[in-house]
Amino acid sequence: MATQTAKQWQMAGFGRDQLRLVEVPVPQPGPHEVLVKVAAVSLNYRDQLTIANGMGSQLAFPFVPGSDMAGTVAQIGPGVSRVGVGQRVINTFWTTWLDTPLPTTPTLGTAFGGPLPGVFSQYLVLHEDHLVNAPETLDDSAASTLTCAGLTAWFALVNTGHLQAGQTVLVQGSGGVALFAAQLALSHGAQVVLTSASAQKRAQAKALGVQHVIDRTQPDWPAAVLAATEGRGVDHAIELAGGENIKHTLDALAIGGRIAIIGVFEGFQLEIPTPQMFARRARIEGIGVGNRKALRELAQWIDLKGIKPVIDAEYALADLPAALAHLERGAFGKVVVRMTP
């Protein structure tokens, strides 16, 4: 391969001011390893936290952030059979949870982009087991959004939620996971109720086909959710705030409904009022992204249904700090960094 060096984002320490775009040698794949030319990396809220403080993990500096990428196989090592040169791929989120319904060992410490080194490099060596075919109907920027945000929504609604046509899904907010949940629910024939504090984002959600949008700044927005569902409540709730917000989510839930705990915007501790939980016969489940099998199924569903992930903005390789600032301000969908100059 003619290219000998590649650009890579590294952290010299915690904080956005510690990010450096450096030149590194292109790595070479060993047995069962694959060299990927990375085309795009999408950002997640966890990237902000990892860059800021490591999310409680001990990172080895210099550290490469980022967990979600799409690219093309440039070279394969001895014994590789799952992918071939020229194949477009996306990476798994976990390195140890592949095809079993639940992890067989704890996943803590086995995710790309924290605490394992991440994907913000123009060339990246990965084990062949950590790659999935990219959807044929998506370009690299769109495909890069599936690894964490897309898979989390899919696993919450389809793999563990067993979403059915005619059910109702509550989506709170308009970030990457939220909009994937809305799009996936709609593609399964479900009704979607989306809450947002932004009038502009509520209008954008309606344009995506969301049937009910609610102003989250209303003091009693769960009552508006109940009104939108003719008093029944929602069958599935995607809980992206955490903290005390789950009290409101329970108020909007149908009897026997399910809450998928995903986000931590309002804190890592949940304030669950047990009388409400008992009254609603609520099922509450924590979602830790998903496995490789589910990611492969998601990619196939994307192709089948023609779903186009919502990308709010794309940034050039050198503009990662600006992309992070955009994410922090609040994006409608995903923010993506293109890894080519």
236 and 315 share one domain: no
pTM comes to: 0.94
Decide if 47 contacts 329 (C-beta within 8 A). no
Q: Is the peptide bond before 115 cis (omega within 30 degrees of 0)?
A: yes
C-alpha atoms less than 13 angstroms from C-alpha of 40 in its C-beta half-sphere = 24
Distance CA 28, CA 35 (A): 7
pLDDT at site 300: 98
225 and 318 share one domain: no
* Per-residue pLDDT tens over the stretch 255-311: 999 999 997 655 566 778 788 888 889 899 999 999 999 999 999 999 999 999 999
pLDDT at site 264: 63
Helix, strand, coil percent content, the chain, rounded in steps of 5: 30, 30, 40
267 and 220 share one domain: yes
- CA angle in degrees (0–180, nearest 5) for 143-189-256: 105
Helical spans, DSSP H, in 7-107:
45-53
Report the CATH number at residue 42.
Answer: 3.90.180.10
pLDDT at site 330: 93
Cα dist. 190→86, 165, 301, 314 in Å?
37, 5, 15, 30
At 265, the amino acid letter reads F
213 and 93 share one domain: no
pLDDT at site 55: 85
Report the CATH number at residue 218.
Answer: 3.40.50.720
19 and 135 share one domain: yes
Count of domains forming the chain: 2
130 and 194 share one domain: no
302: in domain: no
Give Cα 185 to chain centroid, integer Å.
16
Distance CA 341, CA 335 (A): 17
Domain residue limits at 13: 5-146+309-338
Distance CA 233, CA 226 (A): 5
Dihedral Cα 241, 146, 204, 317, nearest 10 deg = 100
Distance CA 321, CA 175 (A): 19
Distance CA 51, CA 259 (A): 29
Low-confidence ranges of the chain (pLDDT < 50): none
Q: Please enumerate in sequence order all residues whose Cβ is within 8 A of that of 219, keeping only pairs 6 or more positions apart, or say none.
A: none
pLDDT at site 104: 87
